[in-house]
Amino acid sequence: MFWQKNIETLPREQLEKLQLLRLKATVKRVYAKVPYYKKLFRAKKTAPKEIKTLEDITKLPFTTRDDLQKNYPDGLLSVTKDKLVRLHTSSGTTGKPKAVFFTEKDIATAANNMARCLTMTGVTKSDVLQNMMSYGLFTGGLMMHYGAEKIGALVIPAAIGNTDRQLLLMQDFGTTSIHLTPSYALYLAAIFEKKGRAFRKKLKLKRAYMGAEPYTEETKNKIESILKLKVYNSYGLTEMNGPGVAFECGFQAGMHLWEDSYLMEIVDPKTDRPLPDGQTGELILTTLTREGMPIIRYRTRDLTAIIPEKCKCGRTHRRIMRIKGRADDMFILRGVNIYPQQIERVLMSVAHVEKNYQIYLEDNDKMTVKVEITKKLFDGNLEHLKKLQFDLTEKLRAEIMVRPSVELVEPGTLPVSEGKAKRVFDNRKIY
Ligand SMILES: [Zn+2]
């Protein structure tokens, strides 16, 4: 199913023509209206007239999180304030938040892209979408809400948390689709397991959209098998309008990134050099239609690769792979680059392992992985426990090249997160 078939299947040549047209307009606009960009362009000895092809994008400066924070609150606007209708900020863990402004047209474009995403996974106006993302300054709640409403689906703005109420809403209003973070989905999965099959049978759930945090294929499989629904991967970030930047279609082999709205590049995060399709690097995005606050070559810090092959669904907008990690989540231990997702992938693939885990880093390159296991195993035979601990240690060592200590803990021991989960606790003083 398509929301805008003509644009979603636009032949590449025409799509790239459209991108170039929009890129030129965006570059002209920021150069003329945003003094900070003019300064960045000049520092790089470049100007809008340099952009003749899409490849010329590499002549332009990057925009970093730091640039957004430096220009907080409103230094990157390219319209007068009376044109703005919405402000979102991103949940900055350090320093000032990043503020992003939208005009009416910007909101409409974001909602439209979201409608494309939902339609390609089968959502129609007869669906009921329970939106379990937090509403407010975070884009996750509102942008999904607008997209689903655009299709004409019934939206339940449940927001995150209050799990008893979530379950009641699902049951009483026949929720077919849910939108949530992977950590909340894992939390829900534990509750579903407790409630048993009879409870699940009362529900009409078909699909879950998971985003806002990177997660692994193994986590997805676990959630699908417990919640008995299809999990679709969703990618977005506040700086780029929130959810709906890229999304899985029915074939679920990578996420289509809406290339009429964003120009994507993959660069080596260390050398900043462009990488060819298929290679993993940092995703760089340039907004192509944004009015209020266009952003040039934004360093997302997210690691992924472009899938150049055409998708079976017929869409011509290229796909990106599941986000492998955030360049920022990465930690270095004994000179090895490690992503929490690598550890999660191993843990979630082993039987008797529950959903909650934490990684502790201490001085002397010590790494401890605490992970909850099933109650049955925890209370059972000591030999079995030792074997699981040994297996996990060996599997982790094979994956990350470093041997961690593995601590098996009783289910319910580690703090439960109803929002974004904190997995890594780096207590090292020197590294
Ligand atoms: Zn597809």
Alpha carbon of 252 to ligand 1 centroid (Å): 7
302 within domain boundaries: yes
CA end-to-end distance (rounded Å), the chain: 51
Distance 323 CA to ligand 1 centre (A): 17
Residue 431 lies in a domain: no
Domain that holds residue 108: 1-328
- Distances, alpha carbon 348 to alpha carbons 4, 52, 158, 193, 221, in Å: 37, 48, 28, 16, 9
pLDDT tens, 192-210?
999 999 999 999 999 999 9
- CA 162: distance to chain centroid? 23
Tokens 């520092």 correspond to what residue? Answer: 43
Q: How far is the CA of 121 from the centre of ligand 1 (A)?
A: 10
Confidence grade of residue 345 (pLDDT, cut at 50, 70, 90): confident
Q: What is the pLDDT of residues 239-254, one digit of tens each?
A: 999 999 999 999 999 9
Q: Examine the domain organization and report whether 286 and 372 are in the same domain.
A: no
What residues have a C-beta under 5 A from ligand 1, the ion? 249, 251, 311, 313, 315
Cα(116) to ligand 1 centroid in Å equals: 12
Same domain, 168 and 195: yes
Q: Are residues 57 and 80 in the same domain?
A: yes
Whether residues 203 and 61 fall in one domain: yes
Do 428 and 372 form a contact (C-beta atoms < 8 A)? no
247, 179: one domain? yes
How far apart are the CA of 159 and the centre of ligand 1, in A? Answer: 29
Q: Could you tell me if 275 and 359 lie in one domain?
A: no
Strand order in the sheet with 298-304: 262-267, 281-287, 298-304, 325-326
For residue 3, report the distance from its CA to the centre of ligand 1, in Å: 13
Band (pLDDT 50/70/90 cuts) for residue 76 is very high
Rounded to an integer, the average pLDDT of 147-156 is 98
Q: Report how far ligand 1's centroid is from the alpha carbon of 31 (Å).
A: 36
**CA of 120 relative to ligand 1 center, distance in Å:** 8
Shared domain check, 369 and 284: no
CATH number (domain holding residue 350):
3.30.300.30
The answer to whether residue 188 sits within a structural domain is: yes
**Mean of the pLDDT values across residues 91-112?**
85
3-state secondary structure of 290: coil
| Mean predicted confidence (pLDDT) in 12-31 | 98
Cα 45 to Cα 26: distance, rounded to the nearest angstrom = 18
Whether residue 431 is predicted with pLDDT greater than 50 in this model: the reply is no
State the total domains in the chain: 2
* Burial environment of residue 49 by CB neighbours within 10 A (0 to 12, 13 to 18, 19 or more): exposed
Q: 4 CA distance to ligand 1 centroid (A)?
A: 14
Q: Check whether 173 has a pLDDT greater than 90.
A: yes
Whether residues 312 and 384 share a domain: the answer is no
Question: Using CA atoms, how far apart are residues 230 and 221, in angstroms rounded to an integer?
Answer: 9
Structure token pair of residue 65: 């999180």
* Residues 118-131: tens digit of each pLDDT: 999 999 999 999 99
pLDDT (mean) for 176-201: 92
Query: Does residue 126 lie in a domain region?
Result: yes
User: Where would I find the H helices in 284-356?
Assistant: 340-348
Residue 93 has pLDDT above 60, yes or no: no
Asked if 165 and 311 sit in the same domain, the reply is yes
Q: What distance in angstroms lies between residue 284's CA and the mean position of ligand 1's atoms?
A: 21
301 CA distance to ligand 1 middle (Å): 25
54 and 203 share a domain? yes
pLDDT, tens only, 374-414: 999 999 899 999 999 999 999 999 888 889 999 999 998 98
| Residue 253 and residue 311 in contact, taking contact as beta carbons nearer than 8 Å | yes
Question: In angstroms, what is the span from residue 248 Cα to ligand 1's centroid?
Answer: 7
In whole angstroms, give the CA distance from residue 378 to residue 88.
45
What average pLDDT score do residues 356-363 get? Answer: 91
Does 96 reside within a domain? yes
Residue 185 lies in a domain: yes
Torsion angle in degrees (nearest 10) through CA of 265, 105, 110, 151:
-140
CA of 169 to the centre of ligand 1 (A): 32
Residue 240 is classified by DSSP as: G
Domain end residue (candidates: 328, 351, 374) = 328
pLDDT tens digit sequence for 212-234: 877 888 889 999 999 999 999 99
Q: How far does residue 296's CA lie from ligand 1's centre (Å)?
A: 27
pLDDT tens digit string along 273-288?
999 999 999 999 999 9
Which of 328, 344, 372 corresponds to the end of one domain? 328
- Examine the pLDDT at 296 and tell me if it is beyond 70: yes
Ligand 1: centre distance to CA 243 (Å): 18
Question: Between vectors from CA 309 to CA 306 and to CA 311, what angle results, nearest 5°?
Answer: 105
Residues 217 and 343 in one domain: no
Residue 226 backbone phi and psi in degrees, to 5:
-85, -45
- Percent of the chain as helix, strand, coil, to the nearest 5: 35, 25, 40
Is 290 in the same domain as 150?
yes
At residue 427, the pLDDT reads 86
For residues 92-104, average pLDDT = 79
Residue 29 lies in a domain: yes
Mean pLDDT of 155-180: 96
Domain termination residue (choose one: 276, 295, 328): 328
User: Residue 63's domain is classified under what CATH number?
Assistant: 3.40.50.12780
Residue 352: closest CA among 379, 316, 333: 379
In a domain, 255, yes or no: yes
% residues pLDDT > 70 (the chain): 97
pLDDT at 337 over 80: no
